[in-house]
């Protein structure tokens, strides 16, 4: 996906970058997410003015389906099922890692094995906790040590999903983490894929 010069502060760009499903769903918005078209982006204009864009505002100024699924997962359609019911945990994966490089590595590994997976990337414990409280996941990939003194043990308290641990120290104590596999940082994509399929199957 092209990189908008203001993408780091754009919630729309963050949402679609974190999920293959969203990238497919909002494919028509892509031309506005690069440097040349960003000048015309309605979301960027709202942010530049100090505002918070509505979660159905598209970069071209039109209104569409909500791209903020964190908020949407807690909303209930009048007379119908919740947004959570629309998103099955059987294809939802959570990556919790304070290093963006290793987080992307984990996301790409999951999407390689499960191309239709919805992968949510969190770089802080607070964001991960919010996602875990809002819905369930098929598998969680987590760094052992997280920001704010939190660890994978704190993630385990919020979810009983199978867990792949990313760590630079293979001697970490995994007792009490339940169904878990460990991957040493820098071990490569084959090791990550083997850990995931070992827990879930291909």
CA-closest candidate to residue 98, choices 156, 148, 162: 148
B/e letters for 45-56, b = 16+ CB within 10 Å, e = fewer, are bebeeeeebebe
Predicted TM-score of the model (pTM): 0.55
- The whole-number pLDDT of residue 74 equals 33
What is the Cα–Cα distance from 111 to 193, expressed in whole angstroms?
10
Q: What is the mean pLDDT of each run of 10 residues along the chain (202 residues)?
A: 65 77 67 60 81 82 71 33 40 90 87 87 92 90 89 89 85 71 83 89 68
| 189: enclosing H helix or E strand | helix 189-200
Full set of structural domains in the chain with CATH: 7-75 (no CATH), 88-200 (3.40.50.2300)
- The whole-number pLDDT of residue 5 equals 65
184 - beta bridge partners?
167
Q: How would you list the strands of the sheet with 92-96, edge to edge?
A: 118-122, 92-96, 139-143, 163-167, 180-184
């Amino acid at each position: 996906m092209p990189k908008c010069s203001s993408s780091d502060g754009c919630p729309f760009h963050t949402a679609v970058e974190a999920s293959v499903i969203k990238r497919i769903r909002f494919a028509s918005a892509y031309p506005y997410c690069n440097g040349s078209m960003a000048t015309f982006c309605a979301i960027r204009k709202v942010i530049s003015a100090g505002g918070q864009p509505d979660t159905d505002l598209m970069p071209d100024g039109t209104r569409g389906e909500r791209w903020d699924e964190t908020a949407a997962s807690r909303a209930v359609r009048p007379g119908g099922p919740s947004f959570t019911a629309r998103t099955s945990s059987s294809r939802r994966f959570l990556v919790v890692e304070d290093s963006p490089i290793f987080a992307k590595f984990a996301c790409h590994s999951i999407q390689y094995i499960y191309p239709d997976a919805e992968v949510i990337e969190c770089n802080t414990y607070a964001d991960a906790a919010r996602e875990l409280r809002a819905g369930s996941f098929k598998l969680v990939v987590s760094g052992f040590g997280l920001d704010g003194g939190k660890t994978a043990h704190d993630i385990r308290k919020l979810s009983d999903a199978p867990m792949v641990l990313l760590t630079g120290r293979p001697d970490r104590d995994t007792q009490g983490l339940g169904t878990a596999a460990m991957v040493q940082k820098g071990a490569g994509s084959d090791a990550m894929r083997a850990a995931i399929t070992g827990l879930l199957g291909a």
